[in-house]
Amino acid sequence: MEHESLIRCSDVKVGVTRYLFVNKSTQRSFVTITRAWYRLRAKAGIEGRRIHDLRHSFASFLVNGGRSLYEVQQILGHLRYRP
């Protein structure tokens, strides 16, 4: 990962922050990822996609890979099955 906005695990001081994705200049969580998401979508050629679309794709990959609907439900954090 050579992009300067990505944080390597070694760059985050353990115990300094409770956030997973940390703004290096403020040591706080990011408030929004909109600009980064638009930039990444353009670079990947998927301008019309939403982050939630990736969640659906992930679920489809799991099911097509042999995971049961119950497993996918647990992985995605759903409380109950909705057909």
Query: Could you give the angle at the alpha carbon of 54 between the alpha carbons of 2 and 19, nearest 5°?
Result: 55
Ranges in the chain, pLDDT < 70: 1-17, 80-83
CB 75 within 8 A of CB 65: no
| pTM for this entry | 0.54
Q: What is the pLDDT of residue 83?
A: 61
Q: What is the pLDDT of residue 61?
A: 95
Q: What is the pLDDT of residue 26?
A: 82
